[in-house]
């Protein structure tokens, strides 16, 4: 366990970061020196311990210079999605109290529209009114700042059900920048990460899981290989080229790799993989079965949130005897509760709560913090599920996505998990749309593998396919086709946007 500063002393020339496509490599010595320069830059523009700084960057090596620089300068650092609009970025900058923003030049026009009065630094190009980051940081010392102190992240929920909320933690009690980190310990214990790990990160670094897992690998002294952008075949090529031993995925990554032609999948050597961590959404059973069959029993799944109040874990071996489960609690007690916040009987569905000593708050939103906590002090992410007699958790869906049709509660996830396994389907979202008699009807919005297939024939085929496994009430009454669904790079679906679209049509009628 440690910190880049520790590994820079012990293994200065070891690669800390490799960009998968370009091959750009940053050693631990370079990461240590570059993060020191960032810390000096932060101090030079007036950022002091406890202040907030924001990053809105594509996947690039400098991301880690900034993160570790903020961490050793005692700052709260906010990672902002590159896919947001200017107004959405302004909201996060204001809400978080960020005093400076470091952004990628390819965002161009979006950056021109920003209103926030923050200090602005640009990476990867020029932007009128912005300071060139590379020029500014190059003049800074490579030695540590005089007042080093451990900082931490404040990451925002992806806003799939409403305005994103920042999950704020106090600065670590121990100011030592190399003090132990709980996630790093978990990475070593449950997920088998180590200083020998060569870890592939295929997702955007601005999201909580990729960023925190990469940071954990750096604490352990491993090498982080970052894909500039996810592509299913390029991911397999990276595993082979860099002899990847550990990795972190979301189910949509698996689905896209499995849809590659078999000869393409089979031409890459993935035998070096020892751990394939996945989370963000429950993985459809057929997709996980296919992945274990292909990669072997290396999949290790967890369920947790940015809020950090608890985590479940399940290995491939356990999953094969508890298919569909996201595991058992590792560092908390799991509860399934009714509307009153009381435990329900084993096997019965309810809201999933964590009982743990961890505490968090939604920044500037005491009501949301309060609504996530029940009378016993247990906290929830808003998911619905059930526990079996052995304590394995099975997630049903998010409570906010529930469809109520004719008084019957329907959870879209089960329908989505079935339809996405159809060979002609690339992606699917199931929502509740307005229905005069039933209140809501089940609507499937489908992204076909080939848009040329979109039409009545595929509609009939998918309806028949749904009837094979789903009860009548769950069969989509309407199937619409789209070129693309509003899915976050991390795999999360902005179902709220789809639902709002269908209900807006009704409200205008």
Distance CA 286, CA 469 (A): 13
How far from 448 is each of 414, 424, 431, CA to CA, in Å? 19, 6, 17
Residues 203 and 337 in one domain: no
Domain end, chosen from 364, 399, 434, is at 399
Q: Centre a 10 Å sphere on the Cβ of residue 398 and count the other Cβ atoms it contains.
A: 18
Confidence at residue 62, expressed as pLDDT on a 0 to 100 scale: 98
Confidence at residue 456, expressed as pLDDT on a 0 to 100 scale: 95
Beta strands 98-104 and 76-79 are unpaired
Distance CA 474, CA 480 (A): 16
Residues 129 and 33 in one domain: yes
The three-state (H, E, C) secondary structure of 476-490, written as one string: CCEEEECCCCCECCC
Residues 124 and 63 in one domain: yes
Distance CA 410, CA 404 (A): 6
| Residue 317, in any domain of the structure | no
| Residue 218, in any domain of the structure | yes
Residues 354 and 415 in one domain: no
- Taken as a whole, the chain contains a residue count of 509
Three-class SS of residue 298? coil
Tokens 């909320």 belong to 165
Residues 30 and 150 in one domain: yes
Residue by residue, pLDDT tens for the chain (509 residues) are 689 999 999 999 999 999 999 999 999 999 999 999 999 999 999 999 999 999 999 999 999 999 999 999 999 999 998 878 888 899 999 999 999 999 999 998 999 999 999 999 999 999 999 999 999 999 999 999 999 999 999 988 755 445 677 887 788 888 999 887 777 777 787 788 999 999 999 999 998 889 999 999 999 999 999 999 999 999 999 999 999 999 999 888 898 899 899 999 999 999 999 999 998 666 888 889 999 999 999 999 998 877 767 889 999 999 999 999 999 998 889 999 998 999 999 999 899 999 987 777 778 778 877 878 889 989 888 888 999 999 999 987 666 677 877 666 787 888 988 899 899 999 999 988 887 767 788 999 999 999 999 999 999 999 999 998 887 888 999 999 999 998 766 666 777 788 888 877 654 44
Residues 200 and 285 in one domain: yes
CATH number at residue 47: 3.40.50.980
Q: Which residues, in sequence order, are CB contacts of 210 under 8 Å at separation 6+?
A: 201, 203, 204, 248, 490
| Residue 1, in any domain of the structure | no
Confidence at residue 21, expressed as pLDDT on a 0 to 100 scale: 97
| Residue 18, in any domain of the structure | no
Residues 427 and 472 in one domain: yes
Residues 33 and 121 in one domain: yes
| Residue 324, in any domain of the structure | no
Residues 160 and 49 in one domain: yes
Residues 301 and 346 in one domain: no
* CA nearest neighbour of 225 among 48, 95, 217: 217
| Residue 15, in any domain of the structure | no
User: What global pTM score does this model have?
Assistant: 0.82
**Total domain count, the chain:** 4
Beta strands 119-123 and 98-104 are parallel
Residues 164 and 209 in one domain: no
Domain end, chosen from 171, 191, 220, is at 171
Confidence at residue 488, expressed as pLDDT on a 0 to 100 scale: 67
Confidence at residue 160, expressed as pLDDT on a 0 to 100 scale: 44
For residue 383, the enclosing domain spans 330-399
CATH number at residue 467: 3.30.300.30
Domain end, chosen from 137, 171, 205, is at 171
Residues 454 and 388 in one domain: no
* CA nearest neighbour of 301 among 247, 351, 224: 247
> What contacts 24+ positions apart, CB below 8 Å, involve 455-459?
455/481, 458/424
Confidence at residue 245, expressed as pLDDT on a 0 to 100 scale: 98
| Residue 456, in any domain of the structure | yes
Confidence at residue 506, expressed as pLDDT on a 0 to 100 scale: 55
| Residue 126, in any domain of the structure | yes
Distance CA 428, CA 384 (A): 20
């Amino acid at each position: 366990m440690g910190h880049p500063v520790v590994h820079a002393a012990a293994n200065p020339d070891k690669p800390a970061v490799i960009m998968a496509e370009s091959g750009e490599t940053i050693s631990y010595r370079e990461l240590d020196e570059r993060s020191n320069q960032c810390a000096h830059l932060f101090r030079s523009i007036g950022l002091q311990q406890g202040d907030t700084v924001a990053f809105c960057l594509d996947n690039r090596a400098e991301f880690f210079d900034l993160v570790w620089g903020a961490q050793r300068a005692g700052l709260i650092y906010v990672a902002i999605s590159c896919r947001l609009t200017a107004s959405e970025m302004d909201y996060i900058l204001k809400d978080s109290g960020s005093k400076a923003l470091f952004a990628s030049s390819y965002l161009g026009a979006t950056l021109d529209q920003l209103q926030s009065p923050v200090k602005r630094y640009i990476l990867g190009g020029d932007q009128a009114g912005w300071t060139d980051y590379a020029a500014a940081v190059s003049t800074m010392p490579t030695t540590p700042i005089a007042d080093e102190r451990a900082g931490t992240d404040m990451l925002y929920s992806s806003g799939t059900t409403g305005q994103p909320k920042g999950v704020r933690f106090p600065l670590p009690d121990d100011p030592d920048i190399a003090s132990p980190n709980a996630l790093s310990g978990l990475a070593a214990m449950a997920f088998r990460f180590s200083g020998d790990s060569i870890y592939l990160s295929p997702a955007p670094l601005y999201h909580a899981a990729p960023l925190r897992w990469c940071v954990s690998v750096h604490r352990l002294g491993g090498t982080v290989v970052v894909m500039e952008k996810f592509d299913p075949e390029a991911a397999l090529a990276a595993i082979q080229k860099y002899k990847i031993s550990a990795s972190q995925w979301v189910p949509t990554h698996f689905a896209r790799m499995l849809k590659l032609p078999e000869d393409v999948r089979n031409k890459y050597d993935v035998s070096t993989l020892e751990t394939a961590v996945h989370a963000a959404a429950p993985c459809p059973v057929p997709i996980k079965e296919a992945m274990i069959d292909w990669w072997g029993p290396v999949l290790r799944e967890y369920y947790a949130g940015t809020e950090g109040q608890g985590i479940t874990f399940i290995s491939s071996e356990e999953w094969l005897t508890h298919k569909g489960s996201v595991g058992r609690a590792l560092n908390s007690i799991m509860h399934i509760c009714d509307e009153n916040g009381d435990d329900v009987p084993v096997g019965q569905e309810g809201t999933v709560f964590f009982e743990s000593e961890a505490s968090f708050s939604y920044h500037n939103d005491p009501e949301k913090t309060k609504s996530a906590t029940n009378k016993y002090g247990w906290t929830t992410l808003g998911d619905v599920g059930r526990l079996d007699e052995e304590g394995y958790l099975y997630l049903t869906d998010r409570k906010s996505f529930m469809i109520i049709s004719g008084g019957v509660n329907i959870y879209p996830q089960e329908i989505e998990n079935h339809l996405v396994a159809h060979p002609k389907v690339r992606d699917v979202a199931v929502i509740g749309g307005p229905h005069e008699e039933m209140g809501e009807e089940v609507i499937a919005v489908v992204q076909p593998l080939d848009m040329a297939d979109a039409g009545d024939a595929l509609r009939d085929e998918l309806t028949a396919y749904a009837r094979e496994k789903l009860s009548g009430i769950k069969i989509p009454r309407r199937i619409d086709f789209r070129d693309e669904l509003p899915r976050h790079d991390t795999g999360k679906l902005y179902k709220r946007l789809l639902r709002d679209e269908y209900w807006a049509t009704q409200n205008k009628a």
